[in-house]
Amino acid sequence: MLKRFLSAFFALVTALLGHAPAAQKQTAPVFTGSFLQAWYCVDWDESRWDAEIDAMKEAGLDKLILQDTAQMDLRGGWTVYYPTELDALRGHGGYGDVIEGALRACRKGGLRLFVGLAGFESWWVLGGLFGQYDKVCSVMADMQREIFARYHERYPEAFYGWYFTPEISNVPTMKASVPSLARGLNRVLDTATALDPAMPVLLSPYFTEYLAVPSVLATLPLWQTLLETAHFRDGDIFCPQDAVGAQWTPQRDLEKVWQMYREAVDGCGKELCLWANCETLTVARKAIPLMPPATVETVNSAATLDRLVWQMQIAAKYCDEIVAFSYNHYYCPLTGTRVYHDCYLDYLKNGCTLEREAPTAPENVRTEDGVLRWEAASDNVGVAYYLVMKNGKAVGRVEAGADLAFAVKRGSYAVTAVDAAGNRSAAVPA
């Protein structure tokens, strides 16, 4: 154990000091797949599924990762997104069949589907401590057997693999429960092997600087121990979230985190695939201790493509493929706006080069009865949103297509237009 830790420690120190070998991977900085949460697609009919898959194919994505198809709440009750006869889940259905819808659409569109299993709300606090995690992992293994029997024979081409739903991280409760985490994970890995050893298992952990010991070096032994202990097979997929959108990983540390994951995978003695899960969102964080204060740029919304390209370019140095959380939720044209999708298509069309043409300035910016109003700007691809500035500082964000208005108080206000590539117009004062 000490030898392994020291070896990993010195290897990562060398990398962080800038003496690491040249980038090990040269993945193209594009998305090849996307995560999709079950609650989001529970009401989709066949037409919506087909349109969603068509948009993914247009953007070059060929894999869909369906997240938790069952979720246990804090009281022990379940929400289940497919018809089930399992004793633990019986009576908790009624939410349609997202697995059937996803498999049918993926087969029609030629995509590969990872079927997600079960999660539980107390996971974020308890991790693998106590008995709940083990109980849920047992349910997940039963779900695998039931789902495989129900769907695999009908959708052998589309039903590609499994998604292990609990998102392991470096918070103290998870660091303290690595043996338990491995035992639970092994229930799913061993069941996958028994059903069809060719079907990979994918897990998507994350690194947090704000709710754990804030050290990349201190996190490496966790992953080395877990990856060595778990019964991973060649071809299983370690697909960490970059946690940039959720702000768990500061942007300044992103490359160090990917170096750490690469080191952990390379040193585990197994032929694991390392994929990147790049977050396409930007999330508000207001009341969590130690987190940076929220700003206008951290509302729950799509991130502009300039940030995503930066994330992908770093991930591409270390990872075999890049998937998104989530193209479907934030970049698909069916979300209500297509400017992000169109911007990404423009990026692909131009050889993965980001367009740099700024929007025109908003027009007729004025204040009327305590409300700042303006007329829409235009852009060669499309305006994504408007920033409201007060005394030179951004204080508000208004999405394009919404009512172009913002309640104001005293002060000097201005408005600037932002396109989906992150280009900004001049700020126009009221």
Q: What does the pLDDT look like over 163-215, one tens digit per residue?
A: 999 999 999 888 999 999 999 999 999 999 999 999 999 999 999 988 776 67
Model pLDDT, residue 289 = 58
User: CB–CB of 192/143 below 8 Å?
Assistant: no
Regarding predicted confidence, which is higher, 382 or 91?
Answer: 382
Amino acid at 227: L
Distances in Å between the Cα of 119 and the Cα atoms of 76, 90, 122, 153 are 11, 16, 9, 26
CATH topology for the 2-349 domain: TIM Barrel (3.20.20)
Model pLDDT, residue 126 = 87
On the question of pLDDT at 4 being above 50, the answer is no
Q: Which residues 6+ apart lie within 8 Å of 300 measured at CB? A: 281, 282, 283, 284
DSSP 238: E
CATH topology for the 363-429 domain: Immunoglobulin-like (2.60.40)
Distances in Å between the Cα of 265 and the Cα atoms of 91, 163, 222, 228, 261 are 41, 18, 12, 9, 6
From the list 261, 305, 260, 259, the residue with the least C-alpha distance to 282 is 305
Q: How confident is the model at residue 124 (pLDDT cuts 50, 70, 90)?
A: confident
Model pLDDT, residue 8 = 45
Per-residue burial over 126-150, b = 16 or more CB atoms within 10 Å of its CB, e = otherwise? bbbbeebbebbbebbbbbbebbbeb
H or E segment at 405? Answer: strand 405-407
Each domain of the chain, given as residue ranges in start order, spans 2-349, 363-429
Amino acid at 218: A
Q: What does the pLDDT look like over 354-366, one tens digit per residue?
A: 999 999 999 999 9
DSSP 241: B
Find the radius of gyration of the CA atoms of the chain: 23
Cα-Cα-Cα-Cα dihedral sign, residues 240, 162, 319, 276:
negative
Strands 321-325 and 383-390: unpaired
Q: What does the pLDDT look like over 331-354, one tens digit per residue?
A: 999 998 899 999 999 999 999 999
Model pLDDT, residue 323 = 98
On the question of pLDDT at 9 being above 60, the answer is no
User: Which residue has tokens 């061993």?
Assistant: 190
My answer on whether omega of the bond before 326 falls inside 30° of 0, hence cis, is: yes
Model pLDDT, residue 353 = 95
DSSP 411: S
Q: How confident is the model at residue 20 (pLDDT cuts 50, 70, 90)?
A: very low
User: Which residue has tokens 């991790």?
Assistant: 127
**Sheet order of strands, 363-368 included:** 363-368, 371-375, 405-407
On the question of pLDDT at 134 being above 70, the answer is yes
Q: What does the pLDDT look like over 203-262, one tens digit per residue?
A: 999 999 887 766 787 899 999 999 999 999 999 999 999 999 988 998 999 999 999 999
* Global pTM value: 0.91
